[in-house]
Structure 1
Amino acid sequence: MPANEKLKEKIAHLPHKPGIYKFFDEQGIIYVGKAVDIRKRVSSYFNRSTQHNKKTLKLVSQIRDIEFTIVDTEADAFLLENNLIKQYQPKYNILLKDGKTYPYICILNERFPRVITTRNKKNDGSRYFGPYPSGTAMYVVLDLIRTLYPLRTCTYNLSPENIAAGKFKVCLEYHIGNCKGPCEALMDETEYNANIAQIKNILSGNLSVAKSYFKEHMAAAAAEYQFELAHKYKTKLDMLEDFQAKSTVVSNTLTNIDVFSITSNEQCAFINYLKVMNGSIILTQSLELEKKLDEDDADILASVVVQLRQEFESTSREVISNIELQLPLDNITVTYPQIGDKKKLLSLSLKNALYLRKEREGRQEKNKELSGQRELRVLETLKKDLRLTELPRQIECFDNSNFQGDNPVASMVCFKNGKPSKKDYRHFNIKTVVGPDDFASMYEIVTRRYRRLLDENQPLPQLIVIDGGKGQLGMAVKALRDLGIYGQVAVVGIAKRLEEIFYPGDSLPLYIDKKSESLKLIQRLRNEAHRFAITFHRSKRDAGTLKTELTDIKGIGPSTADALLQKYRSVKKLRDLTLDELSAEIGKAKAAILYAHLHAPVEGKQV
């Protein structure tokens, strides 16, 4: 059964239930989608082809199999789709590209706990905070903690027995004031654990407990005239308030919130995520995602919200967004604030997303500008090397192709401002030349090309490059003379063997430095013209072979073969058609003959 017939049969038996569907090509999964009604959603890919963009049409053309999974609710489909995308990373789904592990701050499960950094979260009883989007963001918090609180960094087993036995001695960290020496019982466990409790509050985004602690101890020290100690507490309090001032955006009345904003252009979406706890932004992440199937902003952001909340272990029940968002998740509220502190947070998030977009687009424009400057420099070099009177902003290159005189064709490629202008490429079927005569073929195609430009009053190029030696260059010059435009356009030939550049009427070739950018440009032109001609020649030769194969079938004439070839191009594509599809193209009688021929068992092959 043909592949498309199998797909139609599968689609006809898909359920009208919520779930996910997977599209496969020959290698594996290429797309995962969710649906409230699986059959309706999958059918839409095949029944509304005129409404799809090029990317979606390309996806559909590659589908060879479909699988589905039924779930209970739309929310289940939403989450399952997200998990499968992360697992299989299909090429037509939008993906978060990082794929990296993010760092955590870990308070180890041990006596006199150490505070360390790690990228490996374990189920070992330790307390993990994060993950942080970057090491820089994490170390800002870690440096604050280590400045405020004296913590041990050694790996000793500080059991009561080991300490009592005097197994350890204080290290340099004790002498410079970074540790209070619990290894020698110089700091008791109660005081150390009190510091750890405050550190946990700070890492959770709650600075008020630590601030209250420093305020109380500062006041108590001052009341006892211990002004030096009071100043130490005052310094630590100032550090906390300075840290909070840099982190707090609006007010301490806000609880846990996730803020998402999105802006996009035709190619990419730009997203910002702010994780807010107790009025402080504890995490910010900006992303640029390439669009795969012209997805709208709501679909992109919904997928990213789930992925980032899982990645950064968010437990907030409120999501703020700058666009309407459908999140079929339990206990999650999406809001779109218009005023107040939440609006300020949303504005800040959108400002970051817009900045990322502006920066990326600005960089692209700069790259284009730099590329334009480089191309202008190459053209100036080419003008100098070839001693041209004009800057060759438009260059056209000609090449012939035939195989033992069969199917002679030619090509012309056009470069504008040093770049291929593929809309101006041209193929030529040789019409006036019999046999393998490259010289006469060159005369014909140059004549046809520039007679047409003259007839249509189109501008001529500044440089013509002929792929060949003196003979082909001479025929191109003759064509230009006969058209009356020789002298208006510079023309040169390039010989493949030694990369020699020939001028009309000059017996000695020009040798350009092999490393020269101008020679590389001419080589690119020549190679592109050769590729374009060879591709056309092969397709024409294959079409001739295929046409002969079709017309050799009794009952299939040349006109029928031509019509099928023009639309389907290959026997493989014809073989994939059903009998009904063939009948719609050429009628039932011819379709039956052709279908029987295409699907006949090959001699000697087991069936």
Structure 2
Amino acid sequence: MFDPKPILKNLPNLPGVYRMLNAEDTVIYVGKAKDLKKRVSSYFNKNLASPRTKMMVSQITNIETTVTRSEAEALLLENNLIKSIMPRYNVLFRDDKSYPYISLTGDAFPRLAFHRGTQRKGHQYFGPFPSSPAVRESIQLLQKVFKLRTCENTVFANRSRPCLQYQIARCTAPCVNLISQEDYASDVRHAALFLLGKTSEVMDSLADGMNAAAEAMEYEQAAVLRDRIQALRQVQAKQFVSDFSVSDADVIACAEIEGQHCINLVMIRGGRHLGDKSFFPKNAQDAELVETVEAFITQYYVAQNTPPMLVCGAEIDKTEFETMLSEQAERKIRVLTNAIGDKKVWLKMAQTNAELALQQRQATSANQQARLLSLREALSLAENTERIECFDISHTMGEATVGSCVVFDRGDMQNSEYRRYNVTGITPGDDYAAMRDVLTRRYKKVAAGEGKRPDLIFIDGGKGQLGVAMEVMQEVGLDDILLIGIAKGEERKPGLETMIFSDTGEMLNLPVDNPGLHLLQQIRDEAHRFAITGHRAKRAKARITSSLEEIEGVGAKRRKALLTRFGGLDAIKSASIDEIAQVEGISLALAQTIYERLH
């Protein structure tokens, strides 16, 4: 029996992070505390309410702690440890590192753009948004009202006449100086204020400009500003949330059905309802809803900009989270756990969305389980067949060969476990050699104990590809895993696939309406999609580079300068000799050579 007293005795009354370890010296739980001594000691009280916590405590054989300078630092460290260790008893949320934002670039004529990833100095960012469509919808709205450019800098710098966006009144054509830099800057400022929720300030400014233009008898300009005001009023009537005292807020609700949890997050930015997103945690079985919500806030808001207000549907320790989140964000963050009025209505909507998302997920999971059961019966597979991996090869006449591996496990496709393999060093077009290369690289690691062992492997191909796969599995020592080749039917029609078994050589066709065949087709099609997507990207990159590499006098530095200036090979092909000669390092004679070679 583990005796915690010697450890508890020496714990400080300071903020920090604690790690619970089991007999195998594996971390099974990571937690944070504003007082390590009090928090860790609470696990060893006799009256633990949660069976899940009791089970975790019964496995503890050691405790490690790290003291931090503040609760916010403890929150950050806890999040990093959870995502790197993924302990058994922590509720885990998928690590969405790059949520979409709207950016206004720092150019002389700023560009309105969709942005993911690292934020750069000099640019303004607004978000995050729940999804890509929400960003693009907002960008279209801003184009209609404020007419800001969305084109790439390479296109902007090389325009000689207005583009279609100007013709349909979605841009003021700063590329050809149809608007002054001062007027454009005013439109950018109004767009930024709108995104920050300061719509009344924008409307007041537009109204002042309209009245001034009317007094100066510039009626066309006054009409433009009048139309903008009307457009903003229509948007405000449709999308704005009037009850919230701040323009940015998140509404967080959690639902539970048969031990499965779902968090629904409603995002309000700039006073507008941008949409919602559902999150499904791992390791949430037997966890309390409060624990799931706390885990979500801990893991989600460390990586995101926290809005000034969180409306939460669970009775969490709001004082603790307000302190930590405010310290991390370096501004005041309010957490509401007892919503009233319209906030309660929004919370109920989020709750309904969470329940619907769970029901839909369960229905999909049940359908996939039924398909898996049907596949087991149809192919006489073992009852414990759960993990299926499928391989495909994609190339164009041997160019840019890419192999893919997709994974079906735990009743669904596991996107995070997909892998692509760039295949080199083989005869172009040799599918057998490509399949050998991919399978060897994949299963050498599995045989060495790295990664999970599949119960079944699908090979997209006929007897030839299957024969190669069997040889590879024999070489790596995994020949006891069943392989099934999927030979395409006549004219590659779905439903006419033939299954070829590695252990008996038997060939089998399933009825077109067999649910097991539908699962097989889903896995096979996903492998094909994943392979061809990677192949096309690799091919496009290779063709751009190779076309320029073949031109004498164009080295790496000049290729980079050309691609930076024009943005791609198509744009270089469309450029004139004089435009090519304007690129640094390109003489008129070399520009002539480049033009002739590309044409």
Q: With structure 2 as the length reference, what TM-score do the two structures score?
A: 0.52
Partner-residue secondary structure (3-state), 1:200:
helix
- Residues 516 and 201 of structure 1: CA distance in aligned 2, closer, same or farther (over 3 Å): same
Residue 273 of structure 2 aligns with an amino acid whose one-letter code is I
1:283 and 1:378 map into 2 onto residues whose CA distance is 42
User: What whole-Å deviation, never above 9, does each CA across 1:72-122 have from its counterpart, x for those lacking one?
Assistant: 666664554334324543343222214341222221112111222221333
- Residues 76 and 114 of structure 1: CA distance in aligned 2, closer, same or farther (over 3 Å): closer
Partner-residue secondary structure (3-state), 1:289:
coil
User: Which residue of 310, 319, 342 corresponds with 1:319?
Assistant: 310
Q: Does 1:130 align with 2:122?
A: no
Structure 1 gaps, min length 5: 383-394, 396-510, 518-607
- Residues 81 and 148 of structure 1: CA distance in aligned 2, closer, same or farther (over 3 Å): same
Q: Does 1:193 align with 2:190?
A: no
1:289 and 1:72 map into 2 onto residues whose CA distance is 29
Corresponding position of 2:282? 290
Which piece of structure 1 moves more, 220-229 or 343-352? Answer: 220-229
Residue 131 of structure 2 aligns with an amino acid whose one-letter code is S
1:332 and 1:230 map into 2 onto residues whose CA distance is 41
Equivalent pair of 2:48/2:54 in contact (CA under 8 Å):
no
Equivalent pair of 2:190/2:202 in contact (CA under 8 Å):
yes
Equivalent pair of 1:20/1:32 in contact (CA under 8 Å):
yes
2:508 and 2:42 map into 1 onto residues whose CA distance is 54
User: Which residue of 291, 305, 322 corresponds with 1:299?
Assistant: 291
User: What whole-Å deviation, never above 9, does each CA across 1:400-437 have from its counterpart, x for those lacking one?
Assistant: xxxxxxxxxxxxxxxxxxxxxxxxxxxxxxxxxxxxxx
2:254 and 2:140 map into 1 onto residues whose CA distance is 32
2:32 and 2:152 map into 1 onto residues whose CA distance is 51
1:214 and 1:72 map into 2 onto residues whose CA distance is 48
User: Which residue of 26, 30, 33 corresponds with 2:31?
Assistant: 33
Structure 2 gaps, min length 5: 324-331, 384-503, 511-599
User: What whole-Å deviation, never above 9, does each CA across 1:30-53 have from its counterpart, x for those lacking one?
Assistant: 421234664565466677699774
Corresponding position of 2:82? 85
Corresponding position of 2:200? 208
1:138 and 1:93 map into 2 onto residues whose CA distance is 32
User: What whole-Å deviation, never above 9, does each CA across 1:183-241 have from its counterpart, x for those lacking one?
Assistant: 44432111010010011112223333444455566677788998877665555445434
- Residues 175 and 72 of structure 1: CA distance in aligned 2, closer, same or farther (over 3 Å): closer
1:190 and 1:135 map into 2 onto residues whose CA distance is 31
2:87 and 2:201 map into 1 onto residues whose CA distance is 47
Offset of residue 346 of structure 1: 1.8
1:87 and 1:311 map into 2 onto residues whose CA distance is 14
- Residues 43 and 182 of structure 1: CA distance in aligned 2, closer, same or farther (over 3 Å): closer
1:252 and 1:339 map into 2 onto residues whose CA distance is 11
Corresponding position of 1:545? none
Which piece of structure 1 moves more, 178-187 or 318-327? Answer: 178-187
1:36 and 1:188 map into 2 onto residues whose CA distance is 55
- Identity value in percent: 27
- Residues 354 and 242 of structure 1: CA distance in aligned 2, closer, same or farther (over 3 Å): farther
Corresponding position of 1:66? 63
Corresponding position of 1:565? none
Corresponding position of 2:520? none
Aligned runs of 1:387-536 on 2, under 5 Å?
515=508
1:102 and 1:278 map into 2 onto residues whose CA distance is 17
Partner-residue secondary structure (3-state), 1:275:
strand
Equivalent pair of 1:92/1:293 in contact (CA under 8 Å):
no
Aligned runs of 1:522-601 on 2, under 5 Å?
none
Residue 82 of structure 2 aligns with an amino acid whose one-letter code is I
Equivalent pair of 1:256/1:277 in contact (CA under 8 Å):
yes
Corresponding position of 2:301? 309
1:128 and 1:122 map into 2 onto residues whose CA distance is 8
Residue 324 of structure 1 aligns with an amino acid whose one-letter code is E
Q: With structure 1 as the length reference, what TM-score do the two structures score?
A: 0.51
1:184 and 1:50 map into 2 onto residues whose CA distance is 71
Partner-residue secondary structure (3-state), 2:94:
coil
Residue 70 of structure 1 aligns with an amino acid whose one-letter code is V
Partner-residue secondary structure (3-state), 2:29:
strand
Which structure has the larger Rg?
1
Partner-residue secondary structure (3-state), 1:344:
helix
- Residues 170 and 209 of structure 1: CA distance in aligned 2, closer, same or farther (over 3 Å): farther
Residue 253 of structure 2 aligns with an amino acid whose one-letter code is S
- Residues 332 and 131 of structure 1: CA distance in aligned 2, closer, same or farther (over 3 Å): closer
1:514 and 1:146 map into 2 onto residues whose CA distance is 58
Offset of residue 8 of structure 1: 7.3
Partner-residue secondary structure (3-state), 1:300:
helix
Equivalent pair of 1:266/1:294 in contact (CA under 8 Å):
no
Equivalent pair of 2:146/2:228 in contact (CA under 8 Å):
no
Residue 186 of structure 2 aligns with an amino acid whose one-letter code is A
| Alignment coverage as a number of residue pairs | 376
- Residues 169 and 306 of structure 1: CA distance in aligned 2, closer, same or farther (over 3 Å): same
- Residues 322 and 292 of structure 1: CA distance in aligned 2, closer, same or farther (over 3 Å): closer
Corresponding position of 1:257? 249
1:270 and 1:238 map into 2 onto residues whose CA distance is 40
Corresponding position of 2:405? none
User: Which residue of 4, 18, 21 corresponds with 1:21?
Assistant: 18
- Residues 279 and 146 of structure 1: CA distance in aligned 2, closer, same or farther (over 3 Å): closer
RMSD after superposition: 4.5
- Residues 293 and 512 of structure 1: CA distance in aligned 2, closer, same or farther (over 3 Å): closer
User: Which residue of 31, 54, 57 corresponds with 2:55?
Assistant: 57
User: What whole-Å deviation, never above 9, does each CA across 1:146-180 have from its counterpart, x for those lacking one?
Assistant: 2333334352699xxxx9xxx97335357635544
Equivalent pair of 2:76/2:302 in contact (CA under 8 Å):
no
Offset of residue 127 of structure 1: 1.0
1:174 and 1:362 map into 2 onto residues whose CA distance is 44
Offset of residue 259 of structure 1: 1.9
2:163 and 2:339 map into 1 onto residues whose CA distance is 55
Corresponding position of 2:100? 103
- Residues 514 and 57 of structure 1: CA distance in aligned 2, closer, same or farther (over 3 Å): farther
Aligned runs of 1:155-166 on 2, under 5 Å?
155=153
1:5 and 1:81 map into 2 onto residues whose CA distance is 24
Corresponding position of 2:146? 149
Q: Does 1:352 align with 2:353?
A: yes
Partner-residue secondary structure (3-state), 1:347:
helix
- Residues 223 and 72 of structure 1: CA distance in aligned 2, closer, same or farther (over 3 Å): closer
Equivalent pair of 1:35/1:41 in contact (CA under 8 Å):
yes
